[in-house]
Structure 1
Amino acid sequence: MDEIAKLRNVAIVGHGGAGKTSLAEAMLYNAGVTNRLGRVEDGNTAMDFEPEELKRQASLSSGFYQYDWAKTTISLIDTPGDQNFFSDSRLCMQAADGAVVVIDAVDGVKVQTEQAWEFADEFNLPCMIFINKLDRERSDFLRTFNDAAESFKPKPVVFQLPIGKEADFKGIVDLISLKAFNYDDNGKAAPCDIPADMQEQVDAEREALVENIAESDDELLERYLEGETLTDDELNTALKKGILTRELAPVLCGSATQNIGIDLLADFIGNCMPSPLEKAPVLCTDPDGKEEIECKPDPDEPFAAFVFKTIADPYAGRLNIFKVISGTLGGDGNFLNTNKDAKERFNQLLILAGKEQKPINQALPGSIIAVAKLKETKTGDTICDPSRKVKFKCAKPLPALISFAVSAKNQSDEDKVFIALNKLLEEDVALNLDRNVETKEILISGSGQVHIEAITEKLNRKYNVEVLLNTPKVPYRETIKKRVRVQGKHKKQSGGHGQFGDCWIQVEPLPRGGGFEFVDAIVGGVIPKTYIPAVEKGVVEACQKGVLAGFPCVDFKVTLDDGSYHSVDSSEMSFKIAGALAFRTAIKEAKPVLLEPIMKVAVITPDEFMGDIMGDLNGRRGRVLGMDTKGKNQVINANVPLSEFLTYAPDLRSMTGGRGMFTMDFSHYDEVPAQIAEKVIEEINKEKEES
C-alpha cells in the first residue's frame, strides 16, 4: 500500500502554447531524470519526439514519464493543447488522479483552457493552476488570476505570489510557509526575505488563503471565525481535503523555461495532490451493463484496468497504455478483454519514459503501464481477471469537424491507403474513416486541417504511402415540388413470350424529411397483387438517380392507382421496368429541385470576434438561431449549408487567432437557392462528362 500511497498521476493540461511541455521538461530536469533543460524550440524535449511534433514545435499526442521526486513517484501525462489534438487530451485525462492546468500569464484563459477544465469536471479531477511565463513581456499575474477566478469553479485560490515582473521576475513568495525564494540563472532556489514593498499584499493574501482553506472543514472554519490561530498541520490537512473534494483550486506561479518555481510546484503535487488510494472507488458494470460494481484501489482485489491510449508502430506492433484500477498484475500472464470477450496473453509490463519503455515486474492499483502486441485490445477496452468480469465506461473522442476525400498519389498504392489508415485509426480514435458509396470516395475526418495533415505525414513516414487530399463531394439530394399523375408502360415483343407492364402512378411531395411512401390504391385487380411490389421496386431503384444531377430523390409519395396487364406477357420484371419508367417521367414534370445538407453549428468565441464571425456565417448562407454565454465566451448557434462549411476549421482559426472552436452536427436537408443550384448542377454534370 505504501507504494500506491506515494503515487501521483498528474495530467498537465491547458491551451496550446501555454508551456505544458516546457513545464514537464523542467520537472524532469530538477528530478535528475534528464541532464539538460529540454526546449520545444530546439526539438530536444523528452515528451515531444515524433517527427510531426518536432516539425510543428507542439505536442500532437500525450507524452508519459514516471519518476521519483522527494518521497513520491510522479507519473506525468503531458497532453496536447491544440484543438486539433484535444481528443487525445480528453481520453488521457481519464487516467489521471489530478490535473495541473497551465495558463499563459500573457494571454490568460483561452478556449482550450476552459475545455480542459470542463474535462476535469467531467472526470471529477482535483485541479490546481500554474500561471506560467511570468518572465515574458506583458505578463501579469493578478490579471491572469482574476481571469481564472471569473472562468472556473471550484474557485481558484492564490497560494504563491511572484517577486518581480516580466524580465525582473526572479522569485516566489509561498503563502503557506510564508517563505520567499530567489532563483539564479540555473533555476536554483535560495531563501530570501519577503520584499518590504510586498509585505502588505502578502499579509492580505495570506489571510484570504487561510480563510479559504478553513472553509473546507466546518470545525476549522468555526475556530478561525472565533479568532483562533490555525497550525500549519491543520491548514495542510484541510488543504488536502479541499483539493480532493474540489472545493478549491490552488494557484501557483513561475516560469518553466527559466525553471522558476518548478521545484515548489513538484513539492506541492507530492504533498497535496491525491494518490489513487485517496480517490473514490471507480464504478463499473458487469459485461452486460446491468449490475453496478465498485472497483477499489486494493492490490488484493481481482485485476481490472481500462485502455485509454494505443500507439501503433509498423515494426514494433501495437502498444496499449492502460491504468490499473484494482488488483495486481504480474510481469507476464493472461487477462480477459471484456469488450471483445477474448483472452489476451502478454509477456512483459512496461512503464513509459518519453519515447523509451522500461520493463517492470508488477503493476499495482493506480499504475499507468503499457503492454505490447496484444491481438484484440484497443483504446476504450476493459481488461480484467476472468474471475470478476467488469466493464468500465470510457470517454468518447470529440466529434470530427472537417473531412477530406483521400486518394493515393500513386495508383499502385490504392489498396495500401485504406489498410494503412485503418492502422492509424487504432492509434488515433478521433480519426474517422468512411467509404461514401454514393460519391465513391474514401473520406477521412478529424478535428481540424492540421490534424488531417499530420495524419498524412504519418502515413508517409510509417507506411510509405503518399496521399492526396481533396474537398469531399457534397451528398446532395433531389426532390419534387408538384403533384403529377403519369403512365409507365413497358411493351416488348420479340417472338415467343413478350414483355408487358402498364401502371399509372401519382407522385406528390412529402414534407422535408418525409422519406419515401408507397401506396397501393389498385381496385378491381387491374394489376395483379403479385406485380404490385415489382412496381414499388422499380420506383425505389429509379429514385436512386434523380434527373437534375443524378442524386437520390427523397421526400415523395407514390400512389399506384391504375394500370393493365397481359395474361401471358406480363411479369414482375415487366412491371418493375414500368414503375421505373413512370417515376422518371413523373420527376421531370413535378418541378424537381436540388436539396443540400444543412448543419447545426455552435461556434464558441471570445466577445471581440463576434462581429467577424456573424458576418462570416451570413456570407456562408448561414442562419443564426440564437446566442448563449459560456463562461466568458459567446456561443453562436446557427444552421449553415455543408457546402459552405467544408473548410471552416482553418478559417475560424485564422479569424480568431486559434481562440475559437466549433461543433457541427447534421440537422436536415433544405432546398438550394435556384441561382446556386444551377451552378452546382452545371459543375456536377460537367465533371461527369469529363470522367
Structure 2
Amino acid sequence: MGVKTSTHPGAAGGALTADGPGSVRNVVLVGHSGAGKTTLVEALALASGAVNRAGRVEDGGSLSDYDEIEHRQQRSVQLSLVPVEWDGIKINLLDTPGYADFVGELRAGLRAADAALFVVSAAQDANGIAGATRMVWDECAAVGMPRALVITHLEAARAGFEEMTEICRTAFGGDDPDAVLPLYLPLRGEPGPDGHAPVTGLIGLLTQRVFDYASGARAEAPPSAAHRPLIDEARARLIEGIIAESEDETLMDRYLGGADIDLDTLVRDLEKAVARGTFHPVLAAAPASDGGRQGLGTVELLELITGGFPTPTERPAPEVTTLDGKPCPPLACDPRAPLVAEVVKTSSDPYVGRLSLVRVFSGTLRPDETVHVSGHGLADRGHEDHDVDERIGAVSEPFGKQQRTMPHAVAGDLACVAKLGRAETGDTLSDKDRPVLMRPWVMPDPLLPVAIRAHSKSDEDRLSQGLARLVAEDPTMRLEQNPDTHQVVLWCLGEAHRDVALERLRTRYGVQVDTEPHRVSLRETFGGPARGRGRHVKQSGGHGQFAICEIEVAPLPEGSGIEFVDKVVGGAVPRQFIPSVEKGVRAQAARGVAAGHPLVDVRVTLLDGKAHSVDSSDAAFQTAGALALREAAAEARIHLLEPVAEVAALVADDYVGAVMSDLSGRRGRVVGTEQLAGGNTLIRAEVPEIEIGRYVIDLRSLSHGTGRFSRSYARHEPMPPQLADRVRAEAGRTG
C-alpha cells in the first residue's frame, strides 16, 4: 500500500467531525487480555498526531485517563472509543476488553464497527490462538466483517513474526490459509547480549521498499541484495493470494504466464479483497522507540485502515422494524435520511451525568433535538422496555476522560450523547415522527449469581437507585429480587465482572454492599399421608379465641400446588369459617413446615372441627388451620425439593470427557450429546441448580476458555436425604 501522511485537522484538541460516511472508518480491536490492544491504540493516536509524545493533547486530556477501576486492575474492563484522523479520514478505534467476563463490551464493539483488527501477541499466543479469539473470528466471518491481524510483542523470544504468522494461518485460514498472509516482513537489527535481534523496520512486500523505524521516525529506502531472496519468496506467495481473490478472472492466467502485474492493480485488488472480508492481511506493530512518534508498523496499519477497510456505506445496517414489528426497508447510510441510531454503550460521568455512546446508522444526530427512544426486550434482566420521546443534550466525542463537543454526527459516525435519562444500551434512537426499532444484537446470558445486601442503613437507602443505574449501563447484568429466598441477586458473567460491578456500586454510586451465599429456591412436600389437629383456645377476659380443626394431608403429583378440600359434615365448622381454615393452611404452607421453604403438591382435606358461638372468629380458625398443618408435618416424612436445571454445554470435542465427568460429579444426568460442525459437541444434561452456582467459572477452566452453556428451569426433585438433613440443620441454626 502506498505511503500517506495525516493532515490532522482537529488533532490539537478539537473534535474530529466527519464530512460524510465516506470519510469514516469504524474499527474494533479484538484479542485476549494482555495482547496489546490498548497500547496499539495509543501508538496509532501518537502516529496520527492525536496526542503528543507524552500521550497528551493540548487541552490536557490523556488517553490514559480511563476508568479508575481499569487503573487499579491494570486491564480494560469496558469498551472505549478513541477517534484519530489519517489522510483526511476519521478513524473510530474501538478498544475492547480481552477478558471473557466482559464479552458484552466486545459484542457492543462489534456492533458499532465495520471492520475488526485481531491483535495477536507473539509472547502469549506462541502455543496457539486462544479459543475465545477463534470464536470471535468465526462470529465476524458469519456476517462477512472484514478482518486483519496485527502481531505485537515482537521482542518476545518465544515466537517470531514468521512463526506467529503460520499459527494465525492455521487458526484463521480454515480451508484457505493463503487468505491469511503478511503484507510486510520484519527487519531485524544486530543481536543484543542475549542473542535476540530487535525488530527495527519493515520490508514492504508489494512496494519492495524498506521502512526503517530505528530512529523513531519512519525512513524509506530500497532493499539490499541480502533482502532479495526473502522478499521474492514471500512476495510471490502474497501476489498469488491477492490474485486468487481478484474480480479480474484473467489476472491469474496473465500472472502464471509470466506477465508482471503492476503495483496499482495489486493494491487495488488487495483493498477490495480486504473490504469484502475474503483476504486477511497480517501486519506487525510495536510502540514508538524512545523519543519517536511513529511506532513500528503504525503508519502501515493506518494506511490499511483508510485504504482497505470499508466505509459505513459498504456495510449493511442491522434490520429495522416499526414499533409493532412490521419490517422496514433497509437503512441507507445517508446523512439526509431520517435519523436511526443505536446506543451501544451507557456510562455515567460524575460531571456530565449519563452518557450514551451512539452509532449513527442513518440521518444526522444533532444536539438539543428531540428523538424517539425505543427498545429493547430485556425486561427479564431488569431493563424495562422504552417507547418515549427525549430531548438529547450535547453531542461529543470522548478522548480519555475528556468530551470534545461535535456540531453533529453524520450517518456512519460514532458520538456520545448527554442527558438521555431513559435510554439504555441496545435502545434505538430515531426520528420522533418516524420511530423504528433496530434488531438487537445477541447479549450473553449472565450465569453467575451474586447475592448482596446493604452494608448499613444508609447504604440500604441508596441501594435500589444504585442497582438501577448499574444495570442500565450493563445489559449483560440481570437484577433479581427473589421472592422465595428474599435475596437481592446480581447475575454476572464471571468473577471479574462481579468484582467490577461491586466496585462501581461503591465508588461511583456510593453504595457499600456485602455478599452472602446464594440460596436456590427449595420447596417442601409430604412424603406420605398424615393427619393433624389444630387447637387454638384462649381466654383472657372479654371475648376469647376458640377454634379446632382436624385435617388430612396427602401428597400430589409434581406441579399440583396446594389443593384444599372441605369434607366437614353436620356443621362442626361453621360455613363462614371454612375459608378461614383454608387461608391459615395456605399461609402456613407459604412459610414452610420443616426448613422454612414453601410447601407444594399436597391436598389438605378439612375433616372435622369445633366452634364456639361467641369466641370463634376468622383469626382463630386461621391460626387453627396453620397449627393443624404443622402438626401433620411433625408426624410425616417431609421431602425437601430442589430445583433442577436443563443444561446445554457447548464444548470442543477435546474436552467432552472432562465436562461429562464433571457434570456427573455435580449429581447431573447426561441426557444426550450432539455432534456439531467445527469440532464441537453439545452436551445436554439435567443438573441440580445448587450444584451449578459457579459452573460458568468451572466450565471456562475445564475447556480452556472455549466452553459455554445455557440453563433453564426444568422442575423440582427430592433432594438426597443426607443433603436435606444438612439443609434442615442449617435452617435450625439460623432460624
TM-score, structure 1 as length reference: 0.86
CA distance in 2, matches of 1:346, 1:359: 14
CA distance in 2, matches of 1:612, 1:47: 42
Shift of 1:10: 0.8
CA distance in 1, matches of 2:606, 2:427: 55
CA distance in 1, matches of 2:493, 2:624: 48
- Matching residue within 531, 543, 551 for 1:486: 531
The answer for the alignment partner of 2:130 in structure 1 is: 110
In structure 2, give the amino acid aligned to 1:481: G
Q: Given that residues 117 and 152 in structure 1 are in contact (C-alpha distance below 8 angstroms), is that contact kept between their aligned partners in structure 2?
A: no
The answer for the alignment partner of 2:15 in structure 1 is: none
Shift of 1:422: 2.3
Residues 1:496 and 1:78: Cα distance change in structure 2 (over 3 Å): closer
The answer for the alignment partner of 1:255 in structure 2 is: 285
Residues 1:566 and 1:332: Cα distance change in structure 2 (over 3 Å): closer
Instruction: Using the TM superposition, name which of 384-393 and 402-411 deviates more.
Output: 402-411
Residues 1:114 and 1:595: Cα distance change in structure 2 (over 3 Å): farther
The answer for the alignment partner of 1:685 in structure 2 is: 732
The answer for the alignment partner of 1:206 in structure 2 is: 238
- Matching residue within 87, 93, 104 for 1:76: 93
Residues 1:141 and 1:591: Cα distance change in structure 2 (over 3 Å): same
- Matching residue within 169, 181, 186 for 1:158: 181
Q: Secondary structure at the match of 1:290?
A: coil
TM-score, structure 2 as length reference: 0.81
**Aligned pairs (5 A) from 1:107-146:** 107=125, 108-121=128-141, 124-139=144-159, 140-146=163-169
Q: Given that residues 403 and 471 in structure 1 are in contact (C-alpha distance below 8 angstroms), is that contact kept between their aligned partners in structure 2?
A: no
CA distance in 2, matches of 1:175, 1:525: 103
**2:63 is the alignment partner of 1:17:** no
Shift of 1:355: 2.0
The answer for the alignment partner of 2:12 in structure 1 is: none
Q: Given that residues 392 and 417 in structure 2 are in contact (C-alpha distance below 8 angstroms), is that contact kept between their aligned partners in structure 1?
A: yes
In structure 2, give the amino acid aligned to 1:643: I
The answer for the alignment partner of 1:362 in structure 2 is: 408
**Aligned pairs (5 A) from 1:523-672:** 536-554=582-600, 556-558=601-603, 560=605, 563=608, 579-601=625-647, 616-624=662-670, 631=678, 638-649=685-696, 659-668=705-714, 669-672=716-719
Residues 1:249 and 1:152: Cα distance change in structure 2 (over 3 Å): farther
**Aligned pairs (5 A) from 1:267-306:** 267-306=303-342
- Residues 647-675 of structure 1, C-alpha deviations (whole Å, 9 max, x = no match): 4455566667x635543424433332222
**Aligned pairs (5 A) from 1:146-545:** 146-149=169-172, 156-163=179-186, 167-184=197-214, 186=216, 188-193=218-223, 195-199=227-231, 201-214=233-246, 231-246=262-277, 248-257=278-287, 259-339=295-375, 340-482=386-528, 484=529, 486=531, 492=537, 502=549, 504-511=551-558, 514-516=559-561, 518=563, 536-545=582-591
Q: Given that residues 284 and 393 in structure 1 are in contact (C-alpha distance below 8 angstroms), is that contact kept between their aligned partners in structure 2?
A: yes
- Residues 430-449 of structure 1, C-alpha deviations (whole Å, 9 max, x = no match): 23333333333322221111
CA distance in 2, matches of 1:202, 1:683: 69
Shift of 1:76: 0.8
In structure 1, give the amino acid aligned to 2:171: A
Shift of 1:74: 0.6
- Matching residue within 69, 74, 79 for 1:62: 79
Shift of 1:109: 1.9
CA distance in 1, matches of 2:263, 2:575: 90
In structure 2, give the amino acid aligned to 1:486: R
CA distance in 2, matches of 1:67, 1:566: 85
- Matching residue within 22, 45, 48 for 1:31: 48
The answer for the alignment partner of 2:113 in structure 1 is: 96
Residues 1:596 and 1:150: Cα distance change in structure 2 (over 3 Å): farther
Q: Given that residues 8 and 74 in structure 1 are in contact (C-alpha distance below 8 angstroms), is that contact kept between their aligned partners in structure 2?
A: yes
Q: Given that residues 82 and 112 in structure 1 are in contact (C-alpha distance below 8 angstroms), is that contact kept between their aligned partners in structure 2?
A: no
Residues 1:296 and 1:639: Cα distance change in structure 2 (over 3 Å): same
- Residues 557-588 of structure 1, C-alpha deviations (whole Å, 9 max, x = no match): 42648557879688766665565445434444
**2:723 is the alignment partner of 1:676:** yes
**2:115 is the alignment partner of 1:85:** no
The answer for the alignment partner of 2:5 in structure 1 is: none
CA distance in 2, matches of 1:525, 1:325: 77
Shift of 1:622: 4.1
Q: Secondary structure at the match of 1:463?
A: coil
Shift of 1:11: 0.9
CA distance in 2, matches of 1:281, 1:219: 33
Q: Given that residues 471 and 646 in structure 1 are in contact (C-alpha distance below 8 angstroms), is that contact kept between their aligned partners in structure 2?
A: no
Residues 1:528 and 1:331: Cα distance change in structure 2 (over 3 Å): same
* Gap runs ≥5 in structure 2: 1-17, 189-195, 289-294, 376-385
CA distance in 1, matches of 2:711, 2:666: 16
In structure 1, give the amino acid aligned to 2:478: N
Residues 1:413 and 1:564: Cα distance change in structure 2 (over 3 Å): closer
Q: Given that residues 503 and 575 in structure 1 are in contact (C-alpha distance below 8 angstroms), is that contact kept between their aligned partners in structure 2?
A: no
CA distance in 2, matches of 1:131, 1:630: 29
Q: Percent identity, aligned pairs only?
A: 30
Shift of 1:597: 3.0
Q: Secondary structure at the match of 2:445?
A: coil
* Gap runs ≥5 in structure 1: none
Shift of 1:493: 8.1
Query: What's the RMSD between the two structures over aligned residues?
Result: 3.8
CA distance in 2, matches of 1:299, 1:412: 49
In structure 2, give the amino acid aligned to 1:459: L
CA distance in 2, matches of 1:648, 1:445: 13
CA distance in 1, matches of 2:330, 2:575: 60
Residues 1:501 and 1:9: Cα distance change in structure 2 (over 3 Å): same
- Residues 283-305 of structure 1, C-alpha deviations (whole Å, 9 max, x = no match): 21112222424321111112221
CA distance in 2, matches of 1:528, 1:152: 82
- Residues 412-469 of structure 1, C-alpha deviations (whole Å, 9 max, x = no match): 3222233223222222232333333333332222111122222222233223333322
Shift of 1:61: 0.8
Residues 1:677 and 1:565: Cα distance change in structure 2 (over 3 Å): closer
Shift of 1:545: 2.8
Shift of 1:172: 3.6
Q: Given that residues 600 and 639 in structure 1 are in contact (C-alpha distance below 8 angstroms), is that contact kept between their aligned partners in structure 2?
A: yes
Shift of 1:393: 2.2
Q: Given that residues 242 and 279 in structure 2 are in contact (C-alpha distance below 8 angstroms), is that contact kept between their aligned partners in structure 1?
A: no
CA distance in 2, matches of 1:209, 1:203: 10
CA distance in 1, matches of 2:656, 2:157: 28
Q: Secondary structure at the match of 2:531?
A: strand
Q: Given that residues 599 and 639 in structure 1 are in contact (C-alpha distance below 8 angstroms), is that contact kept between their aligned partners in structure 2?
A: yes
CA distance in 1, matches of 2:346, 2:565: 55
